Amino acid sequence: MTPQQRRADEYLRRYRAKRARGLRGALRDLDTAFRADPDAGRLLDHDPRFAASPAAAPVLAYRGQARLFRGQAEAGLRDLETAAALEPQGWILAWLGEAYRQAGRAGDAARCYDRALELDPRYDNAWSWRATLRLASGDHAGALSDLDRALKLRPTARARIERARVLRRLARHAEALDELERAVRLNPELTWGGTSADALETSLTEIRAAARSLPEDGRLAAWEGETLLRLKRPREALGALERARARAARFAWARAWKAQALLELGAPAAAIRTELRAALKGDEAYARAHWIEALLESREGAPARAAAALTRAIRRSPYTARLYLARAGASLRLGRKAAARRDLDRCLRLCPGYAEAVRLRRSVDGVSDEKLESLHEPSVVEGGIL
């Protein structure tokens, strides 16, 4: 049994004991168990009596979520349906509604969201998820109302990015840009739309259409450049970002994105550092600028400076799993095995089942110190985009 599995089993035992005695903190222990090990639901298979009790409902719900995350849609949905039948709590019904929505069962999803909000109107995710469903059906006013309720309860990045989408549909582009920036400050991995190639092409079309109706706002040219970067078209991105600088000289993020374009085009380090200094002077709290600095230091063969830049990025965005994975890579290149293990554990607590982190964590546990250099190549630090 791995250390993660032992930790998960310990927290599952705590959950069961607290649940049986009606003590507070049971769900927190359950959450900890599944963050330590996405397969923590094996307790259900070993104890049929427990599996049929209401106390098993939260465990089934968490296992269902983990299965959905791994692409086991049918098994995950079945777990969530069983959980809701055993104990129809608001949050369980909201999770079930989201599973139905992702499966294309809009009517079932709507009924689950409505019932979840009747039971627990303070569960902000239910408001956000129902807003996504309403937006897909063309109910813009309903979606905006739900998102406003969600943001009053808890100002999450997800709710803000969804609100930006609704505002774009209503052609309220300046407001949408402001909301998008608020979302990205909370989670620097977010972008205009999705991250698949098709979603990025759709985003590019939307951005260019918005720019025609709002030509004076240079931020749109900057977001065009950012989207082109994600599409692996750095030369075109550089042109868009130059236009953005002319129209929105104070938009610091555009300078950071320009630094990334220059980095991908193999520009000299001095030119990249100039853009990064300008970006950080304009917005020192922007985590992605520090991450781009780490990429540059990695390219220049300075893993210690890369790790330091990633530490600065993490301080500004402590809930971004990819940053911990990147710093683990830098630590491995420096031979800091214990530090890498800690960062990989943090990454997996934030994002259970993150395949690259799981693979690397298992490798770190099973490899000797002298083989660390070959275990982790710089491409893991440099891969992806925040």
Whether residue 315 sits in one domain with residue 236:
no
Inform me whether the pLDDT recorded for 320 exceeds 50: yes
> Is 237 found in the same domain as 307?
no
Angle at 203 between CA 201 and CA 205, to 5 degrees: 75
Same domain, 278 and 298: no
Query: Per mean pLDDT, which range of 53-67, 193-207, 350-364 is the poorest?
Result: 350-364
144-194 pLDDT, tens digit per residue, is: 999 999 999 999 999 999 999 999 999 999 999 999 999 998 888 889 988
Task: Return the pLDDT at 386.
Answer: 55
Contact 143, 162 (CB under 8 A): yes
92: in domain:
no
Query: Following CA atoms 153, 155, 157, 158 in sequence, which dihedral angle do they give, to the nearest 10 degrees?
Result: 20
pLDDT given at position 222: 95
Residue 36, pLDDT score: 77
The torsion angle over the Cα atoms of residues 260, 226, 275 and 178, rounded to 10 degrees, is: -140
> Within a domain: residue 263?
yes
Q: Does residue 302 lie in a domain region?
A: yes
Q: Does residue 79 sit within a domain?
A: no
At residue 47 the predicted structure's pLDDT band, cuts being 50, 70 and 90, is confident
Confidence label for 366 from pLDDT (cuts 50, 70 and 90): low
Q: Select from 222, 283, 284, 282 the least CA-distant residue to 257.
A: 222
pLDDT range class, residue 365, cuts 50, 70, 90:
confident
The Cα–Cα gap between 386 and 375 comes to: 23
**pLDDT, mean of residues 210-220:** 91
d(CA 224, CA 376): 33
Residue 134 lies in a domain: no
Residue 202 neighbours by CB under 8 Å, 6+ apart? 193, 194
**Dihedral pair phi/psi, residue 95, rounded to 5°:** -65, -40
Kindly state whether residue 294 falls inside one of the protein's structural domains: yes
**Per-residue pLDDT at 238:** 97
For residue 351, what are the domain limits? 285-386
Q: 308: which 2 tokens?
A: 């330091």
Answer yes or no: do 263 and 276 share one domain: yes
pLDDT tens for residues 62-107? 999 888 888 889 999 999 999 999 999 999 999 999 999 999 999 9
Q: Which of 283, 310, 335 is the last residue of a domain?
A: 283
Residues 347-359, mean pLDDT to the nearest whole number: 83
* 8-state DSSP, 371: G
**Judgement on whether residues 320 and 352 belong to the same structural domain of the protein:** yes
Question: Is the model's pLDDT at 376 over the cut of 80?
Answer: no
d(CA 128, CA 130): 6
Asked if residue 276 and residue 363 are part of one domain, the reply reads no
The amino acid occupying position 121 is P
Residue 3 — very low, low, confident or very high, per pLDDT cuts 50/70/90? Answer: confident
Same domain, 347 and 384: yes
Whether 342 shows a pLDDT value over 70: the answer reads yes
pLDDT at res. 33: 87
Q: What are phi and psi of 140, to 5 degrees?
A: -65, -40
Q: What sign has the CA pseudo-torsion 282, 260, 307, 4? A: positive
Q: What pLDDT was estimated at residue 1?
A: 67
pLDDT of residue 313: 95
Q: Give me 284's structure tokens.
A: 């020192």
343, two tokens: 């960062």
Work out the pLDDT band at 379, boundaries 50, 70, 90: very low
Residue 157 half-sphere exposure toward CB, CA atoms < 13 A: 14
Contact of 317 with 283, CB cutoff 8 Å: no
Distance from C-alpha of 287 to C-alpha of 284, rounded to nearest angstrom: 8
Domain boundary among 261, 283, 305: 283
Tell me the torsion sign for CA atoms 339, 340, 346, 349.
Answer: negative
Per-residue pLDDT, 363: 84
Looking up residue 326, the CATH number of its domain turns out to be 1.25.40.10
Number of folded domains that form the chain: 2
* Confidence band of 378 (pLDDT split at 50, 70, 90): very low
Residue 367 vs residue 18, higher pLDDT? 18
Q: What percent of the chain has pLDDT over 90?
A: 69
- On whether both 272 and 289 belong to a single domain, the answer is no
Of 262, 283, 304, the position where a domain reaches its end is 283
Segment 349-356 shows an average pLDDT of 80
Q: How far apart are CA 59 and CA 80, in angstroms?
A: 10
* 39, 66 contact by CB (below 8 A): yes
Q: Give the confidence band of 384 by pLDDT, cuts at 50, 70, 90.
A: very low
Task: Give pLDDT tens digits for 240-271.
Answer: 999 998 888 789 999 999 999 999 999 999 99
Confirm whether 32 is domain-assigned.
Answer: no
Quote the CA–CA distance of 32 and 12 in Å, as a whole number.
9
**Mean pLDDT for the chain overall:** 89
Structure confidence at residue 380 (pLDDT) = 33
Whether residue 289 sits in one domain with residue 269:
no
Residue 317: name the closest of 200, 309, 124, 231 by CA. Answer: 309
Same domain? For 294 and 349 the reply is yes
How far is 343 from 328, CA to CA, in rounded Å?
6
Domain co-membership, 297 together with 279: no
Our measurement of the distance from residue 40's CA atom to the centroid of its chain's CA atoms, rounded to an integer in Å, reads: 22
In a domain, 304, yes or no: yes
Q: Tell whether 310 and 357 lie within a shared domain.
A: yes
274: phi then psi, degrees, rounded to nearest 5: -60, -45
